[in-house]
Amino acid sequence: MQKHEAPPCISIVIALDGAQDRKAALQLIHQSIEETADHLRTAWPDKADVLINALNELSDSYNYSPVDKGLGLYVAPNYNKLFAFTFPVQPKVILSEKFAVRELLYQEQYSFDYLVLHLEEKKVQLFRGRMGRLEQISDDNFPLDFDDEYDYSTATAGEREKDKSTIVGRRQKNFYKAADRLLAAYLHGQPLILTGPTKDIGYFEDISMHKKDVTASIHGNFSSVPMKTLEDKVWPAVCSFIEMRDQQVIRELEDSQAQVVDGIRAVLDAAKDGRGSKLLIEKDFNSADFIDELTGKLRTKSAEATHTIDAVEDAMRAVIDKNGEIIFVKEGVLEDHKHIALITRY
């Protein structure tokens, strides 16, 4: 997006809370566009019509989904893009020389691939997940169906004399060993979540070479349920994984050996100096400070300055420009750090 930035850059974030269908969602979108149009006609009258048309085109292109919690419309003279957000957002309209990127960065924090392996006595299914949505993998390897080569009927005469449950357990483990070998081609460091009846998860864990990749196990047979049911079961486990990952960064922040600055003004100065390694921000923290685009100095917003990018956005951009990392955390986690903190390189 940065290469398309030319003033005015329009960033509209719309909360879809309470919108039960596309008609209701479009009404909220049109209200935000009307607010933006009034400002454009005053501040950029020569560009207003083209930009308003672009916003309306984005609105017309929106395909409603009940999982969408918010929308982002981003328009510049030679750029327009719509993003759907699956997390609650704070509504805002920003017109500036740059796009507002907070929601996009927050979504990126959650936008990573994960795998879900569903284990069931006669079939193993593999799903690829992203942002709470699952897609079943259907190729030459998965779904994997139980085959006679795993059956206890192939056991030796001596083995047939053993307790049948022992042989049944062995055939299941052999079946899951085959699935585990195939799984290696899909795992590239992403989290793996196991689902299935308790006994099947137990068999798989006994033989798997990928136990280190398993981040959660969800017990129950989901082989015949709607995809949405499985998604609703899996997504909380993914969020827990993200929270544990973020806790590691918070522990790093609190390490007595860590070099840390906090508070928006100190963070912004350090970030602009290129010292930012990891920037931690409470998700909905908004600063009353902003960079004056004329003077380049940090100022506090007046009541009229409702369309200006705040200093938090500038700090995030400064960290990204120097190959740093952005981590959003829950409200209150950084209260002792004035809601924003920067782990510095030096």
Structure tokens at 300: 């506090």
Summarised one tens digit per residue, pLDDT across range 124-142 is 999 999 988 899 999 999 9
Domain 114-248, what fold? Answer: Nucleotidyltransferase; domain 5 (3.30.420)
Per CATH, the architecture of 1-100 is what? 2-Layer Sandwich (3.30)
- What pLDDT score was predicted for residue 303? 44
Per-residue pLDDT averaged across 172-189, rounded? 94
**Contact 8/36 with Cβ under 8 angstroms?**
no
Residue 174 confidence (pLDDT): 92
Q: How many angstroms separate the CA atoms of 255 and 249, rounded?
A: 10
Q: Tokens 């998604």 identify what position?
A: 231
Q: How far apart are CA 55 and CA 80, in angstroms?
A: 8
Q: So what's the pLDDT on residue 335?
A: 93
pLDDT at 63 over 90: yes
- What is the structure's pLDDT at 118? 98
Q: Considering only 43-52, 131-140, 246-255, which range has the smallest mean pLDDT? A: 246-255
CATH of 255-346, one of 3.30.1330.10, 3.30.1330.30, 3.40.50.2300, 3.30.360.10: 3.30.1330.30
Considering only residues 311 and 207, tell me which one the structure prediction assigns the higher pLDDT: 207
Answer whether residue 91 shows pLDDT above 80: yes
Amino acid 150: pLDDT = 47
The structural domains of the chain, with segments of one domain joined by +, span: 1-100, 114-248, 255-346
Q: State the chain's mean pLDDT as an integer.
A: 88
**Measured distance CA(238)–CA(110) in Å, rounded:** 9
Which of the two residues, 265 and 117, has the higher pLDDT score? Answer: 117
Mean pLDDT of the 194-211 span: 96
Q: What would the pLDDT profile of 23-37 be if each residue is shown by its tens digit?
A: 999 999 999 999 999
Considering only residues 164 and 77, tell me which one the structure prediction assigns the higher pLDDT. 77
Which pTM was predicted?
Answer: 0.76
DSSP state of 337: G
- How confident is the model at residue 58, as a pLDDT? 97
Position with higher pLDDT, 198 vs 246: 198
